[in-house]
Structure 1
Amino acid sequence: MKNVISWQGDNLPMLEALSLPLWVFDIDHRRVFWANQAALEVWGADSLLELQSRDMSRDMSVSVAQRLNQYRQDFERDNAVFSESWTLYPKGQPRLLKVVFRGILVEGRMMMFCEAQNNLSVDPTTLRSAEALMHTSMLVTLYDSAGMVLYRNPSARAKVAYSSETWRQHFIHDGDWQALQQGIAATGEARQLAQVHTRQGMRWHEIAVRACRDGVSGQDALLVTEVDITDLKHAEARASFLANHDVLTGLPNRNGIRSELLPYLQQALRDGRQVALMFIDLDRFKNVNDSLGHASGDEMLIRMSGRLSQLLGHDEKVARLGGDEFLVMLAAPDVAERAETLGRRILQTLSMPMRLSGMDVSVSASIGISVCGEGRLDIERMMRHADLAMYAAKDAGRNNLMFFAPSLEERSQAQLALERDIRRGLDGGEFIAYFQPRVDVASGRIIGAEALARWQHPLRGVLMPDTFIPLCEDGGMVRELGRQILTQAARQQRQWRDRGLELMVSVNLSPSQFIDPALAGMVEQVLRDSGCQPDRLELEITESVLLGDDEQTMQTLQSLRALGVRIAVDDFGTGYSNLAYLQRYPLTSLKIDRSFVSDLERRPAIAEMITTLCRMMGLNMVAEGVETPQQLSWLAERGCQEYQGFLCSPALPSHLFAQLVL
């Protein structure tokens, strides 16, 4: 440790006599340990005791504190000596000095011996630029033409893997360094996203480099600035994963099928193999949700996805289509035989009992199989055929598998008949609004309701939305259905107000409704005809509608907000989210998707992020699917204002809802 000196009391008289300002700084306690008379004058101190009493940490910036810790590490590790320009602030007045720093051992601890060589006088712009360079969070490094470091600002020193690291050694992948070098050679500057070595391990940095000259030697040099974007890269990776994978099970979703699994099938056909799709639907899964709750239903789906994954071989893939539907893809020379064998094993494995909510529960499955032997792969057609075959397996008694046959196309005709039945029901006023309570978390009081569509079928009784919504969307009837439910909800809000109930009512807008140019006019007409208070009506939109044309989306939202209605984002967190739109658009509420609420015990991170985001942006939080007091307590602790879910009540007809409130 040749550059680190030891504190010797015998030397004090000599040091005191020097006209050069000298002092010892205690890095641990952020105080001056000792100073000679010349240093007391620099610091504007009346005595050594008075200077020692000053707590330098009280007005010390984060950057300076970080810099001092770097000094100590370098003293201990490299016996370093530094000569730098520093601005001191004795009694708040700036004083620029050229100071030499070296380590000194005092009472077994590493302190900093400071030697002020002279006062510096620079113009304000130069001084401020030097201060900015010290305090900026951007990493700034100057290398010579051989790649050896000439200078690092404090932020760069804090991150560098080791002090002697060269320009080339900074990179994990040599190709990134070469790409930057080529850019510099071509234009004198370059920019690259690269993985680099740091004291924290591998990090992603956005690197900008420019050819320049060293201001001291006049030789060629490289000025490198870096910004750590690792958190952004992780967020992008997470967003991409969510866009292509099911949140609950982690399996590929419909987007993932096209982006990840479709190329696998195409390659299998090119290799001379046949491919097959297997649609798997759990039989009577709704009974599990209705009897044990959605949390148990979700647990079953997770465990079923695990069983499927364990059954599959190398050339077999599984995805979740939504709800209780799964899709298996496989390739083999004789794929039909392979699919039937695998299908029988799947039926047997999925029907095995599992323990849920203290009960042994078992469900069977129905499987539909579609085969593509040779020729062009039409994934949509194959999926449709597998779907038809799956429904045929259900009609055959469930717990069965069926291959697609052309005769199953007749089922499509039945769907057309159902579509005609829906049109008749819309004309006949058979679709009615049920209302699920929205509850104030703090008081437990019902303060509103979400209007949900039900079909009061004359022969089949009350039908749930999954029976008719998909056909309404496919058949272009969802706008009329949405108008009818909105009208009923607005009238109901007026009736509640007439009875002295100040309740908010929320209504879902489908994506096709949202893009309808006549939407704002329709909403205005409904408000006028019903007498509904605009500020008591909330329109719920999905994330997907916010990812289209920004200008059109903004115009639509502004038109709706101009009417006085509120705007909520429904099922937030399940789509491909760009959180920037929350700042751009005039939103009032976020509804946390029930899949995140049900998974709070195992994976609370996304729900935590959403609640934090809402608090930061002043958005009203509404949690969906709350079923347990523990979930409600978690949400209450994080400032969630409202909740919906079976913990209070399912959706009810208007007269039963009124009984619940009164």
Structure 2
Amino acid sequence: MSAKMLQKVNDLKGLAQQDALTGLLNRMHFQQLVEHHLITPDAEHPHCLFFIDLDGFKTINDTLGHHVGDRLLQTIAERLRIATRTEDLPLATQGKGLEPQLYTARFGGDEFVVFLANGASGSIAQKMASRILRVLSEPVEVLGQSARVSASLGVAFFPRDGASYSSLLRAADAAMYHAKREGRQRCEFYNPSIEDAERRMAAEEQELRQALQRGELELYFQPQYDVETLGLRSVEALIRWNHPERGLLLPGTFMPVAERASMTTDVGEWVLGEAARKIAELERRGTPLQIAVNISPSHLEELSFVSLVRSTLQQTGASSHLLEIEVTEDVAMRDPELVADRLSQLSTMGVSISIDDFGTGYSNLASLIKLPFSKLKIDRSLLDVLESNGEAQILVQTIISMANCLGFHSVAEGVEREEQLQLLSAMGCDFLQGFYLSRPLSWAQLRIALNEQSDRSVNKGFRKAS
């Protein structure tokens, strides 16, 4: 065989062993190399497997395009090569005749694996994992675009965590998913309790999905009252889970499950749709009322969110001015230009906008006044010390005065005592919300309250007329 032909054969052989995009090992060849080291278990010189999954890669792929995503994966591969160098690691095999072997592969998509053979102690694995997390989290310039991702890592040891390639890989994968569920951009080492926790969390997520399909979620309504008349002016929609076995569950019990399962958008869409249906029904009953819905950051990031609101109002027949969208202060400041664009489109439709939890962040007020807010809700933490803390009184008074000057309505959340009500009234606050005036109402209770308020208004008008 000629040298040219031999080179061509070698090139083809190399291509069969490599990932075409990154040049790392492909899944099949990686498995062959790793299994060679697993033939004879050696407890004194264990091997370890890192399973790496990028956080936020899908968003970059969707927003900047697949060509940017491909270049980003190539950069990540280069950084992995740097982060997994063994020359400066005090491996347990040094000086014992065993050379450390390291293999790095791309499994497809944004999944990567690293195998460290011979003498991979827990401390060495932790050092390498920390280095990988640090290197991969640094921003990347790709084709003139700035991109940033992080990674979640799972680590498993052979033979302790898996006595075969498939079991070792499964253990590292389970540890990686646990890292994602625990907050991402972190490393988790496999232990048997992880799989128990994963099974439990998977069951919780499936139960919540079924609850959404079966109609077990429902809305409660926190009333908002006019300071001068104490009349019911609007309500804030609060989600509850009417669990068939555990009873009525508050969102703190199940919304973390929704976040883990990437269901916050689905749940938020349900809340929006249900609130719009309630608005339309109250209008038909002759007791129209504004209902506020809290919006998560993921909603505002969705290009289709404005269209979703528009189509929901059209399908339900709800008047747009009776729907209020609440955005927290930190969400409003996360990306002011994006938020301003989304909220301006909603405001143009007639939807009211309020800023929630105001007063504890570090907002750029110049940016805030460019957003189309109609209400400014004072964070409840300021009310907790309102009677006893002079600085809190000054801050709350400043917020109320600022809202009045800017043409916003001011709303105090968490009113639980008569003294708070009196102070807020004297400060010129417009609306009050809290347990002192009312706890959250069920749909049936809200209808009764509105009917009673309507009856009082009619009777009051009749007496004046007579």
TM-score (norm 1): 0.39
Kept after mapping to 1: 8 A contact 2:347/2:372: yes
Q: Deviations over 1:458-489 (max 9, x none)?
A: 22221110111122123221111111111111
Aligned AA (1:637): A
Aligned to 1:533: 319
Matched, 1:564 2:344: no
Alpha-carbon distance between aligned partners in 1 of 2:255 and 2:410, rounded to the nearest angstrom? 26
Matched, 1:632 2:418: no
Structure of larger gyration radius: 1
Change (3 A) 1:442 1:381: farther
462-471 or 550-559: bigger deviation: 550-559
Aligned AA (1:438): Q
Kept after mapping to 2: 8 A contact 1:431/1:481: no
Aligned to 1:554: 340
Aligned to 1:573: 359
Change (3 A) 1:372 1:587: farther
Relative to its length, the structure with more helix (as a share) is 2
Alpha-carbon distance between aligned partners in 2 of 1:511 and 1:430, rounded to the nearest angstrom? 25
Aligned AA (2:230): G
Alpha-carbon distance between aligned partners in 1 of 2:337 and 2:261, rounded to the nearest angstrom? 28
Aligned to 1:214: none
Aligned to 2:239: 453
Alpha-carbon distance between aligned partners in 2 of 1:435 and 1:532, rounded to the nearest angstrom? 17
Aligned to 1:611: 400
- What is the DSSP-based 3-state SS (H/G/I as helix, E as strand, rest coil) of the residue aligned with 1:514? helix
Matched, 1:601 2:390: no
Aligned to 2:439: 650
Aligned AA (2:200): A
Could you tell me how far 1:510 is from its partner in structure 2? 0.9
Could you tell me how far 1:641 is from its partner in structure 2? 0.9
Q: Deviations over 1:269-318 (max 9, x none)?
A: xxxxxxxxxxxxxxxxxxxxxxxxxxxxxxxxxxxxxxxxxxxxxxxxxx
RMSD of aligned C-alpha atoms? 2.6
Q: Deviations over 1:48-84 (max 9, x none)?
A: xxxxxxxxxxxxxxxxxxxxxxxxxxxxxxxxxxxxx
Alpha-carbon distance between aligned partners in 1 of 2:395 and 2:203, rounded to the nearest angstrom? 42
Matched, 1:499 2:285: yes
- What is the DSSP-based 3-state SS (H/G/I as helix, E as strand, rest coil) of the residue aligned with 1:600? coil
Aligned AA (2:204): L
- What is the DSSP-based 3-state SS (H/G/I as helix, E as strand, rest coil) of the residue aligned with 1:438? strand
Matched, 1:472 2:258: yes
Alpha-carbon distance between aligned partners in 1 of 2:401 and 2:153, rounded to the nearest angstrom? 43
Change (3 A) 1:653 1:372: farther
Kept after mapping to 2: 8 A contact 1:449/1:504: yes
Could you tell me how far 1:530 is from its partner in structure 2? 1.5
Kept after mapping to 1: 8 A contact 2:224/2:433: yes
Q: Deviations over 1:226-272 (max 9, x none)?
A: xxxxxxxxxxxxxxxxxxxxxxxxxxxxxxxxxxxxxxxxxxxxxxx
- In the TM superposition, 1:112-127 aligns within 5 A as none
Q: Deviations over 1:564-597 (max 9, x none)?
A: 0000111112333212222111111111111111
Alpha-carbon distance between aligned partners in 2 of 1:658 and 1:430, rounded to the nearest angstrom? 20
- What is the DSSP-based 3-state SS (H/G/I as helix, E as strand, rest coil) of the residue aligned with 1:612? helix
584-593 or 470-479: bigger deviation: 470-479
Aligned residues: 273
Alpha-carbon distance between aligned partners in 2 of 1:602 and 1:579, rounded to the nearest angstrom? 27
Aligned to 2:248: 462
Kept after mapping to 2: 8 A contact 1:437/1:651: yes
- In the TM superposition, 1:196-275 aligns within 5 A as none
Could you tell me how far 1:405 is from its partner in structure 2? 9.3
Task: Between the two structures, name the one with larger relative contact order (CA 8 Å, sep ≥ 6).
Answer: 2
Kept after mapping to 2: 8 A contact 1:514/1:545: no
Change (3 A) 1:544 1:474: farther
- What is the DSSP-based 3-state SS (H/G/I as helix, E as strand, rest coil) of the residue aligned with 2:345? helix
Alpha-carbon distance between aligned partners in 2 of 1:609 and 1:444, rounded to the nearest angstrom? 23
Aligned AA (2:225): V
- In the TM superposition, 1:123-134 aligns within 5 A as none
Match of 2:375 among 589, 604, 623: 589
Aligned AA (1:505): I
Alpha-carbon distance between aligned partners in 2 of 1:432 and 1:527, rounded to the nearest angstrom? 19
Unaligned runs of 5+ in 2: 1-121, 134-151, 155-174, 179-188, 453-466
Aligned to 1:97: none
Kept after mapping to 1: 8 A contact 2:387/2:419: no
Aligned to 2:449: 660
TM-score (norm 2): 0.55
Could you tell me how far 1:660 is from its partner in structure 2? 2.6
- What is the DSSP-based 3-state SS (H/G/I as helix, E as strand, rest coil) of the residue aligned with 1:491? helix
Alpha-carbon distance between aligned partners in 2 of 1:550 and 1:437, rounded to the nearest angstrom? 29
Could you tell me how far 1:372 is from its partner in structure 2? 8.9
Change (3 A) 1:658 1:412: same
Alpha-carbon distance between aligned partners in 2 of 1:522 and 1:405, rounded to the nearest angstrom? 42
Q: Deviations over 1:82-133 (max 9, x none)?
A: xxxxxxxxxxxxxxxxxxxxxxxxxxxxxxxxxxxxxxxxxxxxxxxxxxxx
Kept after mapping to 2: 8 A contact 1:538/1:566: yes
Kept after mapping to 2: 8 A contact 1:611/1:640: yes
Aligned to 2:80: none
Change (3 A) 1:477 1:374: closer
Kept after mapping to 1: 8 A contact 2:354/2:375: yes
Could you tell me how far 1:600 is from its partner in structure 2? 0.6
Unaligned runs of 5+ in 1: 1-370, 389-403
Aligned AA (1:648): L
Could you tell me how far 1:375 is from its partner in structure 2? 4.4
Matched, 1:406 2:191: yes
Aligned to 1:483: 269
Aligned AA (1:635): L
- What is the DSSP-based 3-state SS (H/G/I as helix, E as strand, rest coil) of the residue aligned with 2:365? coil
Aligned to 2:60: none
Aligned to 1:512: 298
Match of 1:542 among 328, 334, 353: 328
Relative to its length, the structure with more strand (as a share) is 1
- What is the DSSP-based 3-state SS (H/G/I as helix, E as strand, rest coil) of the residue aligned with 1:584? coil
Aligned AA (2:381): S
Kept after mapping to 2: 8 A contact 1:520/1:560: yes
Alpha-carbon distance between aligned partners in 2 of 1:647 and 1:660, rounded to the nearest angstrom? 16
Change (3 A) 1:437 1:408: same
Aligned AA (2:420): Q
Match of 2:230 among 444, 447, 453: 444
Aligned AA (2:412): A
Could you tell me how far 1:373 is from its partner in structure 2? 11
Q: Deviations over 1:589-645 (max 9, x none)?
A: 111111111121233233233212212211111111101111111111121111111
